[in-house]
Homo-oligomer: A and B are copies of this chain.
Amino acid sequence: MAEYDVIILGGGPGGYIAAERLGHGCKSVLLIEKDTLGGTCLNVGCIPTKALLNSVKLYEHARDSSQFGVVTESASYDWATVQEWKNKTVTTLVGGVAQMMKRLKVTVVNGEGHMTSPTTVEVNGEEHSALDVIIATGSLPAMPPIPGSVDNPSVVDSTRLLSIDQVPPRLTIIGGGVIGVEFASIFSRLGSRVTIVEMMDEILPFMESDLAARLRTQMPAVDFRLGAKVEAIEGTTVVYSHDEVTDRIEGDLILMAVGRRPLVNGWGADTIGLDYSPAGITVDDQMRTNLPHVWAVGDVTGRSLLAHAAYRMGEIAAAHILDGTAKDRGQVMRWDTIPWALYSSPEAAGVGLTEEECTKRGIEVNATTVPLVLSGRFIAEHGLSRAGMVKVVAETETRVIRGIQVMGPYAPEMIWGAAGVLEMEFTIEDVRQLVFPHPTVSEGIREAVWAFPDKKRNEQR
């Protein structure tokens, strides 16, 4: 039986970042991955979609830039080359993770790990023990039992859609979350007729509803069916009901994108006394489970299914394993300051609470929404043909900012600053004193804080 300081079950973002931090901290680490290092994000999630979205953006630029003075004839795309670039991207980054593990002397074992006790894990017929175990088994696409969906070759999950041989003429997407909207953005711009069927009244539930509604108007090639409950799938046709009326969407391919479920089965959670449910493993804000020295990070906790949330969870678990006083240094999860990003066209990003969420929690807030046409760079790159928006939510009394959302170009790259603003509890007045570079789209955030109602009538800005 090999002994380690830490065994990590799962080599996705939560697992590999914990391995990185622990390796750097000179711990002996065993990282067990049943498939490919990098997990969902790197292999079949954020990274390959970003590669596809980049190709689609370039194709669109080649095709639609005549008003900017670019002259092209017969702009088209070659799907095989698009796929090749995507695969090369994934291979490069998986290789990078493997190299890093090697450099930090992390032992990586390829195989299915099974926890045989809170401190022992069996893999490939061998048992290993450790002082601490971090569970980072991730999640799988949820496949709800819709009649006609099981074993239907026309129904695919996001993993399969990433690698299809050809672009479908018609694509029906069940679910208007990040995955659904990003794939809609990819395929609609490549010429597919895309329909999104969403059960709720609006897409992207974490987004301010006014921004989400506006985002839909910026994707005119996509047919959105909201408040639509899928009743059955018949071959390549989706049958849904809306206000007690039944309707059908003919298509060629159907993407099931209704979310992901934590992977809590099949690796021993049920036999070691772990507190978990289908919604995930129960953890505290230091990523401790109910079992001493057993930690859980990433999608499997069900708390956030974002790769960078997994990073942070992995870092926090590592920090506490490395140092018993980590909590005093602020090493706890602050769930309300994790940004999100959407890479559709237009892009969007946000951090903090929505106006609605604040109201639910009984926090009295003001909110301001401004259009991005106030940004000189936005106008220089889009004119008045596109819409973008920034919304800022702040407490009425203290003026502390509780939420910032941006719908428009570069949003994902500018939102880390907003996470900083929330972490440090900046007020409206604090952000007004920040200097934003000109001309940038990020100045939209500045415009939004300036558009905020003044504190008192007689107190000037």
Contact = CB atoms under 8 A, between A and B. Distances in A.
A433 B423 CA distance: 9
A362 interface: no
Interface string A427-446: 00111111111111110011
A460 B322 contact: yes
A58 B382 CA distance: 12
Interface stretch (A117-125, A198-206, A301-309, A386-394): A301-309
Contacts of A413: 410, 413-414, 440-442
A24 interface: yes
Interface in A1-60: 13, 21, 24-25, 41-42, 46-47, 50-51, 54-55, 57-59
A58 to B, nearest CB: 4
Interface string A63-100: 00111111111111111111111001100110010000
A416 interface: yes
A74 B72 contact: yes
B78 A69 contact: yes
Interface residues of A, number: 106
A34 to B, nearest CB: 22
B331 A435 contact: no
Contacts of A307: 438-439
- SS class of chain A's interface: helix, strand, loop or mixed? helix
A349 B430 CA distance: 22
Contacts of A83: 69
A380 B419 contact: no
A102 to B, nearest CB: 16
A361 interface: no
Contacts of A415: 437
Contacts of A129: none
Contacts of A176: none
A35 to B, nearest CB: 18
Contacts of A429: 329
A232 interface: no
A319 interface: yes
A437 B69 contact: no
A42 B426 contact: no
A66 B439 CA distance: 31
A380 B435 contact: no
Nearest to A441: B413
Nearest to A85: B68
B46 A69 contact: no
Given A46-B376, A70-B58, A72-B74, A440 B420 contact: no
B416 A380 contact: no
Contact of A437 (B88, B341, B379, B461): B341
A17 to B, nearest CB: 10
Contacts of A93: 376, 379
Contacts of A380: 47, 50-51, 54, 89
Pick the most buried of A70, A323, A414: most chain B CB atoms within 10 A of its CB.
A70
A445 to B, nearest CB: 7
Contact of A71 (B78, B318, B341, B414): B78
Nearest to A458: B323
Interface stretch (A134-142, A153-161, A264-272, A332-340): A332-340
Given A68-B85, A92-B384, A96-B373, 10 more contacts: A55-B70, A62-B72, A69-B79, A70-B76, A89-B380, A89-B383, A315-B461, A416-B437, A419-B435, A423-B434
Nearest 4 pairs of A and B residues by beta carbon: A417-B417, A69-B82, A322-B460, A69-B81
24 contacts: A46-B439, A55-B70, A57-B61, A68-B82, A69-B77, A69-B82, A71-B78, A72-B75, A89-B383, A92-B384, A93-B379, A306-B437, A306-B438, A309-B435, A311-B438, A416-B442, A416-B446, A417-B419, A419-B434, A419-B435, A419-B436, A420-B424, A420-B434, A424-B424
Interface of A: 13, 21, 24-25, 41-42, 46-47, 50-51, 54-55, 57-59, 61-62, 65-85, 88-89, 92-93, 96, 306-309, 311-312, 315, 318-319, 322-323, 326, 329-331, 337-341, 349, 373-374, 376-377, 379-381, 383-384, 410, 412-421, 423-424, 426, 429-442, 445-446, 459-461
